[in-house]
Chain A
């Protein structure tokens, strides 16, 4: 096969004889489900790291793996990992490849383990628990549950392309998180293949107090501590009623305070999204009364009595000017529209989103400092934000920036990220609210974790003595 692609990141290669030895070990079991075909290698050279779109347009990929495998059972995953680990070959778990930080990129070569052939679902209806293999598609799971009168309540914007295993591995959260929580609130049990190839199972319980909660170690571990093969998730009855409401405020601060009051009264809207002025204009330009102001959309859902009581709280506490259901309907229709990245990347626009979090006492400061820091990077066209996941303690700020760099796009991109991460750390914020670390955020991980970084390093060394699981992640 001849190709003219450049590998942008590939640092070290795996010696060919080790790759052959690996293939010899797994091929008898996996057959066609172990591939070294070029079409497969190139397809697994990347995830949805936005800067890599610019690379791709120039015929550059982050890094090609040496092989790709599609196991169909936990035992097959264990076989693959133990073979790779004994040969010292890097292993990269791969779900839907919708991660936005290069987390699944096979930076050092080695083997990509795609979990999407592991997609069985089992429902324990009486217990409100669903068991899903790691490769189950997000929408597939939600529609399976909806058909049976249930919901998981985990609706990330990447619901369509992503997998359950990817959600757990990145500690993802969905658009309805203010009521249902993030994936970490839903995981009750988990099965993982450790970097040495053993299988560890943490069975589901309503709650348990059996030593430290080791299962949590794997939530957000992004493939660096093992391969999640199965999870048990808590499910809920499908909402009986849904109430849509929207409000216009004069400022971002005012709207955030209003949401804080609502939460303090005990209401738990499923969706709350506060858009700053730019984003209100960008997403809701058809709503004249909101244009130039700050729009908040809210969805309350659940059993009728509860939802109506919450609507009363909303009415009393939100202030501003109510704008009715239509802006929320507009959001529901357009919430999976991600056309801008494919439209603008080919025009040379470097575009990304950065999600961070802060307590109420610092969230407004973070908003301003972040905007100022990123806005002053040469080439940036705009920085905007919405707040979309709320807690009694604070909120997530979800920033979008776009710019047209004069020089190298990657350098520009890294300058913006540096400004963003520094501003967040200076305000005491969390450098990631839900996308994770991947490869893009690794320069700031040590600072973000402080003394905790040593704990992470020791856990990693203990579980993965040969350093085969997702090498390069977070390092």
Chain B
């Protein structure tokens, strides 16, 4: 059967092609061609429609390919990596929606991370990011002194709420613990130790490794048979990023929604509530579960109204990656945009990520975490 380039060899002819040695070697697989960043820089922005930053900010500067273009110009020495350029390179939610549409399977976030690292080293990263990193470095927690330093003791099940929950949504942690109890797990919380994901997305690889090692150690000493987390970013870090650093992680790390989905049946009382849902980008793209939340809600007996963008076309809440630290106003505008869209479907929104809940709540939304909804349906106290 003819291959991808047979037509070129046949129609152009070997003789002409040999006079174009780069082309010839490329199609013969002997040459890798340009770097991924350069290819992305030369793309006409074929994922722009999916990028929340690009849609809401509206600037070419912060569009997926626009950021890659600036990155390429910096790498090639045509443009300096000053604060202005660094700000554009940080205008990203690390949501990976771009990868979903990219025929190259690029994630702009990933392509730009090395340059973010360089801007940190050169003291050019946005001030909010610098403050975040210095808190992480000093306290191992994004917001300064941790509010709680709960540590579990040997064996059993560990509940890992994640820093956003601990800092901003303690009631969510309570509901999650109550839910675990209802499901028959006697879980103990582990709090005040960041998984390192914010440092990872900020581009500070060394700090990420340090934080990851710290959490891995804390978990190792607790020896849990199961870790349940509320934040899909933490699950992604523990499940997918830690092993690539050679760190040992507990045998099972599950997001609350994944644990719920494993239950055979729910003794719940059902509800007549009309609810819509927001699929968190990390659950959809990083954990590869585009339909999990919706399926769970249907099984819980909720009357579900689909929002316009959902599943593998979800739209990040605005609080992904380090955007709320580097571009707080833009992050809130994205949250309002998404919330408006969700409200077209229903007043009450269920999600499965504390950052999404925080983003929407701060911008006037009525939002329940899936743990809070589940507790109220499965007979516990009212959630959220």
Contacts and interface: CB of A to CB of B under 8 A. Distances in A.
B3 A70 contact: no
Interface in B240-292: none
Interface residues of B, number: 59
A3 B2 CA distance: 47
B6 interface: yes
A425 interface: no
Interface in A100-149: 114, 116-117, 119, 135, 137-140, 143-144, 147
A282 interface: yes
Interface in B24-76: 26, 31, 33-34, 38-50, 55, 58-61, 66, 69-70, 72-73, 76
B218 to A, nearest CB: 41
Given A281-B2, A347-B22, A56 B41 contact: yes
A342 B46 CA distance: 12
B84 interface: yes
Given A1-B84, A281-B6, A346-B33, A40 B39 contact: no
Interface residues of A, number: 62
Nearest to B310: A147
Contacts of B38: 57, 342, 346
B45 A59 contact: no
Given A160-B48, A382-B11, A285 B78 contact: no
Nearest to B72: A56
A15 interface: no
A37 B7 CA distance: 46
Given A56-B69, A96-B48, A343-B39, A285 B87 contact: no
A453 interface: no
A48 B46 CA distance: 12
Interface in B147-179: none
Interface stretch (B12-20, B125-133, B207-215, B347-355): B12-20
A347 B55 CA distance: 32
A38 B84 contact: yes
B182 interface: no
Nearest to B344: A147
A382 B49 contact: no
Contacts of A119: 55, 58
A195 interface: no
A288 B59 contact: no
Contact of B73 (A59, A147, A342): A59
B1 interface: yes
Nearest to A115: B58
A94 B40 CA distance: 21
Contact of B16 (A94, A337, A381): A381
Given A44-B60, A347-B22, A147 B10 contact: no
B60 A139 contact: no
B317 interface: no
B183 interface: no
A39 B88 contact: yes
A237 B60 CA distance: 33
A341 interface: yes
A158 interface: yes
B7 A161 contact: no
B295 interface: no
Nearest to B22: A347
A349 B80 CA distance: 28
Nearest to A140: B49
A198 to B, nearest CB: 25
Given A285-B4, A291-B2, A346-B33, A338 B76 contact: no
B328 interface: no
A74 interface: no
Nearest to A59: B78
Given A40-B61, A43-B61, A97-B45, A4 B77 contact: yes
A278 B11 contact: yes
Contacts of A137: 48-49, 55
A96 B3 CA distance: 34
Contact of B79 (A5, A53, A144): A5
B310 to A, nearest CB: 10
A336 B42 contact: no
Contacts of B10: 281
Contact of B23 (A57, A139, A160, A349): A349
A338 B102 CA distance: 10
Given A40-B59, A70-B59, A346-B38, A336 B6 contact: no
A281 B1 CA distance: 11
Contacts of B2: 281, 285-286, 288, 291
Interface string B278-313: 000000000000000000000000000000110001
B22 A147 contact: no
Contact of B80 (A2, A138, A404): A2
A404 B49 contact: no
A98 interface: yes
Given A40-B61, A161-B48, A5 B73 contact: yes
Given A336-B46, A341-B42, A348 B80 contact: no
A98 B47 CA distance: 12
Given A135-B58, A281-B10, A342-B38, A3 B26 contact: no
Given A138-B49, A381-B23, 9 more contacts: A3-B73, A39-B88, A42-B70, A48-B44, A160-B46, A281-B6, A338-B43, A338-B44, A338-B46
Query: Nearest 8 CB-CB pairs, A to B?
Result: A116-B58, A281-B7, A346-B34, A342-B42, A139-B49, A59-B78, A161-B45, A404-B20
Interface of B: 1-4, 6-8, 10-12, 16-17, 19-20, 22-23, 26, 31, 33-34, 38-50, 55, 58-61, 66, 69-70, 72-73, 76-80, 82, 84-85, 87-88, 101, 103-104, 308-309, 313
Interface of A: 1-5, 37-40, 42-44, 48, 53, 56-57, 59, 70, 94, 96-98, 114, 116-117, 119, 135, 137-140, 143-144, 147, 158-161, 278, 281-282, 285-286, 288, 291, 336-339, 341-349, 381-382, 384, 404
15 contacts: A1-B82, A5-B79, A43-B60, A57-B42, A59-B78, A97-B45, A116-B59, A159-B49, A338-B103, A339-B103, A341-B44, A343-B33, A346-B39, A384-B11, A404-B22
